[in-house]
Structure 1
Amino acid sequence: MTRLTTYARGPLFFDVTDTGPEDGTPVVLLHGFPERASCWREVAPLLHAQGLRTYAPDQRGYSPGARPRGRSSYVVSELVADVVALIEAIGGPVHLVGHDWGANVGWSVAARHPELVRSWTAVSVPHPAAFVKAMKTTRQGLHSWYMGLFQVPLVVEGLARWAGGPVDQGLRRTGMSRDEVARFRTEIVEHGALPGALGWYRALPLSRGRGMGGRVRVPTTLVWSTGDSAIVRPGVDWCEQYVDAPYELVVLEDVSHWIPTHAPEPLADAILARIASVA
């Protein structure tokens, strides 16, 4: 077997970190904002130790070869199609895992392409319909205030050039360590990925009804943490309503939003338990 280091969808080329036993069962790991595939660096080895092969792509806007212009290029249906293309390149079906925005995209992949997903583990972010309901009826809107700021062109990009400035400070307030903020500066800001990463948010007004959500019919786990400053509990509790398959909620106490790097062992345990449930 050979390693999958890149794959194409149309004119776009995506970088992939393919590690673990070459004959291992495939697991796709989807990163969130503002991180790249390296956010799985603590989790992936724990999965490899159990015989699993992991594929972690740098997604649209993050891979240098996949940074199209215009916010319409970042609607959820396009992000979903990118993941489908990866699974088809692997030869699917796969076990799917996603954190933050990767979870938002993964929910739609699992709902719309169940034939490609053997199991689904969402990390931090509940089903899109549960999240929207929470936005309308709970304090979720107050916790998601930054989404409005991200809609303004060039503002965040300009602020992010300031090392130690408000963007770095904001990430620290969410629980990121100094080393993790430094990685953000290196892998996102200096790498040129920030405009494309923000495109995911800026395309949200165009994404309604275009590939978002749907009922999930594959075995599902949601891993959420009580220290998450971005996601409030009600949407998490409503998530089960949108899953027509075995479902489990795993709650990690006093862990920040950055579960893959702050709690890799319990996260890996939850992923492995979900995979084992369908083995």
Structure 2
Amino acid sequence: MDSLIVRTDQLDIACEAHGPAEGLPVILLHGFPYDPRCFDQVAPPLAADGCRVIVPYLRGYGPTRFLSSGTPRSGEQAALGHDLLQLMNKLDIKRATLMGYDWGGRAACIVAALWPDRVRALVTCTGYNIQDIAASSKPASAAHEHRLWYQYYFHTERGRAGLTENRRDICKLLWQLWSPNWRFDEATFERSALSFDNPDFVDVVIQSYRHRYGYAPGDPAVADIETRLAQQPPIQVPTINLHGEADGVGPVPRTDHHAPRFTGGYERRLLPDIGHNVPQEAPADTVAAVRDLLKRTQP
């Protein structure tokens, strides 16, 4: 494994790179509150297949840093998509297979939707991860709303203080609630929790969960991307949706309402007993999905 720092217009993005430089590019994108350790059993098999596997730390995580103190510490969806596109540009990756979940799945879906010529194929967890911010004020069922307690907590200054002072406690609880069948140990959690010590972690997380409900302004530098995302664009690249049947963020719907959002070939794979952190809980299924798409889309 190699360590890279890729300078974009706003960030020095820290990345882990596996496999030959000339291999087919695969980019693996973690979510909140996780980090690249979730791909420790995914990246090596794909690299052994001859792929060039890039695993970045998202903004606000690990060694990734903002270049300027004046840049808004935004975690909004447009910023995540912008970072991924910039990363591909700086690494001269013309076209990549993307795999992501949670925040990383959102970034992957955004690039696949807005720049489909840059994406060979997509593995996304839970489906279409582009937020419909205009509809965010519409209440959901009580059963669904209670699962989002942490988001409403982060809308308050008490929540900001809580995440600042108790980030490990909060993040570990989310791991447990979202993946009820995953028996991770303290060492496994701590390997990822080190990434939450990033000086921008709290600001990026708070802005992310406030912006998606219209409670925080976005970064003007990515406003045009948000405008395009408001149209809820379809995803036109071959896609496999991995959905853990024990995902504590949201139960698997009996009817796949996300399917119409994908127009380039789509398959949903349900994973029994797997929760929200799919690549770390089900690495073999994750590797299989990427391999299947690579076979289908070979040049």
- Normalised to the residue count of structure 1, the TM-score between the two structures is 0.85
Question: Structure 2: how far apart are the matches of 1:4 and 1:184?
Answer: 17
Q: How many angstroms does 1:106 deviate by?
A: 1.3
Instruction: Look up the match of 2:227.
Output: 210
- Contact preservation (8 Å) 1:255, 1:262: yes
- Alpha-carbon distance change, 5 to 167 in structure 1, aligned in 2, over 3 angstroms: closer
Moved more, 197-206 or 69-78: 69-78
Q: How many angstroms does 1:220 deviate by?
A: 0.9
Q: 1:152 aligns with which of 132, 149, 156?
A: 156
- Contact preservation (8 Å) 1:29, 1:56: yes
Question: Structure 2: how far apart are the matches of 1:75 and 1:166?
Answer: 21
- Contact preservation (8 Å) 2:8, 2:86: yes
Q: Say yes or no: does 1:179 pair with 2:206.
A: no
Q: How many angstroms does 1:59 deviate by?
A: 1.5
- Alpha-carbon distance change, 154 to 82 in structure 1, aligned in 2, over 3 angstroms: farther
- Alpha-carbon distance change, 168 to 45 in structure 1, aligned in 2, over 3 angstroms: same
Structure 1 segment 177-256 matched on structure 2, within 5 A: 177=184, 178-188=186-196, 190-195=197-202, 196-204=204-212, 205=214, 206=217, 209-212=226-229, 213-234=232-253, 237-256=256-275
Instruction: Look up the match of 1:90.
Output: 91
1:49 alignment partner AA: A
Instruction: Look up the match of 1:266.
Output: 285
- Contact preservation (8 Å) 1:156, 1:167: no
- Alpha-carbon distance change, 211 to 31 in structure 1, aligned in 2, over 3 angstroms: farther
- Alpha-carbon distance change, 264 to 156 in structure 1, aligned in 2, over 3 angstroms: farther
- Contact preservation (8 Å) 2:77, 2:130: no
1:148 alignment partner AA: Y
- Alpha-carbon distance change, 150 to 71 in structure 1, aligned in 2, over 3 angstroms: farther
- Contact preservation (8 Å) 1:37, 1:56: yes
- Alpha-carbon distance change, 174 to 157 in structure 1, aligned in 2, over 3 angstroms: farther
The count of residues paired between Structure 1 and Structure 2 equals: 275
- Contact preservation (8 Å) 2:24, 2:51: yes
Q: How many angstroms does 1:16 deviate by?
A: 1.1
Instruction: Look up the match of 1:66.
Output: 66
Among all aligned residue pairs of Structure 1 and Structure 2, give the percentage whose two residues are the same amino acid. 23
- Unaligned 5+ segments in structure 2 are none
Q: 2:118 aligns with which of 100, 116, 119?
A: 116
- Alpha-carbon distance change, 86 to 165 in structure 1, aligned in 2, over 3 angstroms: closer
- Contact preservation (8 Å) 2:5, 2:15: yes
Q: How many angstroms does 1:130 deviate by?
A: 8.5
Post-superposition CA distance 1:180-230 (Å, at most 9, x none): 332343221x34353123432233225694353411111111100101000
Post-superposition CA distance 1:9-57 (Å, at most 9, x none): 2242111111112221110111100122222111101211211111111
- Contact preservation (8 Å) 1:71, 1:199: no
Q: How many angstroms does 1:271 deviate by?
A: 1.4
Equivalent position SS for 1:145:
helix
Equivalent position SS for 1:231:
coil
Q: How many angstroms does 1:7 deviate by?
A: 1.4
- Unaligned 5+ segments in structure 1 are none
Equivalent position SS for 1:233:
coil
- Normalised to the residue count of structure 2, the TM-score between the two structures is 0.80
**RMSD between superposed Cα atoms in Å:** 2.9
- Contact preservation (8 Å) 1:76, 1:211: no
Question: Structure 2: how far apart are the matches of 1:236 and 1:160?
Answer: 39
Question: Structure 2: how far apart are the matches of 1:203 and 1:44?
Answer: 32
- Alpha-carbon distance change, 230 to 276 in structure 1, aligned in 2, over 3 angstroms: same
- Alpha-carbon distance change, 184 to 156 in structure 1, aligned in 2, over 3 angstroms: farther
- Contact preservation (8 Å) 1:110, 1:218: yes
Question: Structure 2: how far apart are the matches of 1:71 and 1:46?
Answer: 37
